[in-house]
Amino acid sequence: MGMYRNFVWMTWFWLIIFVVATGCGDEIKAELEKCKQEIFIVQKEKKDSQKRVDELTKSVMEAQEQLKKTDEMKQELKQVQEKKQTLSAERLKTVKDILDQLKSIIEAGNLKVRTKRGKMTLELPSAVLFDSGKADLSDKGKETMSSVAKALKKIRGREFQVAGHTDNVKVSEGNPFGDNWHLSTARAVSVVLFLKQSGVNPKQLSAAGYAQYQPTAPNKGAKGKARNRRIEITLMPNLKELPDLTELEQELGLKESDADNKDEKKQPSNF
């Protein structure tokens, strides 16, 4: 009887253990599954966070590189601006020196200083330099060009293009030059040769003739025709001085105004 009781109690004990164990197992499995899901979420968040950190790190590095390039560009721009200011100051000094040296000729109305397409140009009326229809410098022309030569000799590292221009009136019959092309070119060459004889470096000189095809005023009146009959000496810029002369034009008032080119009443030519 005692053995039977022990058997029953042992049976119920293991049965209870089995029931309890079976119920707890499901809860543990559920907890384990829940933990797995949470671990997966955490790992995914960690992976996403690391990806974001990598992206931010890359963005920071790119920003730093861009900032470095920006600083370099600012430095280069500063150097360019400083160089431009230096060149502008040098050019301004050159212009002022020439104006000072040619002041008497300018005030006498025998020479004008202008800027055209960013180049400084000395403009001399043909009537001051030549007799009508001639290409040899007159005595007055030689005197005027002597003063111009003194100013040009002091300018180093520049080339001077001497250009002859006429109005649209044909040369008279029997004139040895035949047409305005020959006359304008011959006058330019005469000026070049005189400048050379006066001490201007011939390597800095060139001559050109444009006949009537680059007028500075309408050829409708005596004043306009007189303005078109001219010699221009252009200071050719160095390659490093290619920026225009806008600031100098404004400061010195050299730019030709539109009013200068208005049509004039037709008058007979005094060429």
Write 18-27 long-range contacts (CB < 8 A, 24+): none
Tell me if 195 is assigned to some domain: yes
> What are the mean pLDDT values of the chain's consecutive 10-residue runs (271 residues total)?
53 54 60 72 80 83 83 75 66 76 84 82 94 94 93 86 96 91 97 96 95 94 94 80 56 59 42 32
The pLDDT of residue 38: 74
Tally of structural domains, the chain:
1
The pLDDT of residue 117: 76
Cα gap 193→136, rounded to integer Å: 11
Tell me if 161 is assigned to some domain: yes
For residue 165, give its domain range.
Answer: 90-261
Tell me if 271 is assigned to some domain: no
Tell me if 186 is assigned to some domain: yes
CATH classification at residue 255: 3.30.1330.60
> 240 by DSSP, 3-state: which?
helix
Contact 181, 208 (CB under 8 A): no
Among the listed residues 188, 171, 191, the one whose alpha carbon sits nearest the alpha carbon of residue 179: 171
Tell me if 137 is assigned to some domain: yes
The pLDDT of residue 200: 94
Q: What are the angstrom distances between the C-alpha of 41 and each of 37, 46, 55?
A: 6, 8, 21
SS3 of 15-49: the string is HHHHHHHHHHHHHHHHHHHHHHHHHHHHHHHHHHH
Residue 255 is given by DSSP the state: S
Q: What are the angstrom distances between the C-alpha of 184 and each of 12, 127, 212, 229, 245?
A: 135, 13, 9, 9, 27
Give the total residue count for the chain. Answer: 271
Tell me if 197 is assigned to some domain: yes
User: What is the signed CA dihedral for 53, 59, 65, 67, rounded to 10 degrees?
Assistant: -120
Tell me if 198 is assigned to some domain: yes
Contact 234, 120 (CB under 8 A): yes
The pLDDT of residue 107: 86
Tokens of 269: 């030519």
Cα gap 11→205, rounded to integer Å: 129
Contact 223, 264 (CB under 8 A): yes
Tell me if 106 is assigned to some domain: yes
This prediction's pTM: 0.59
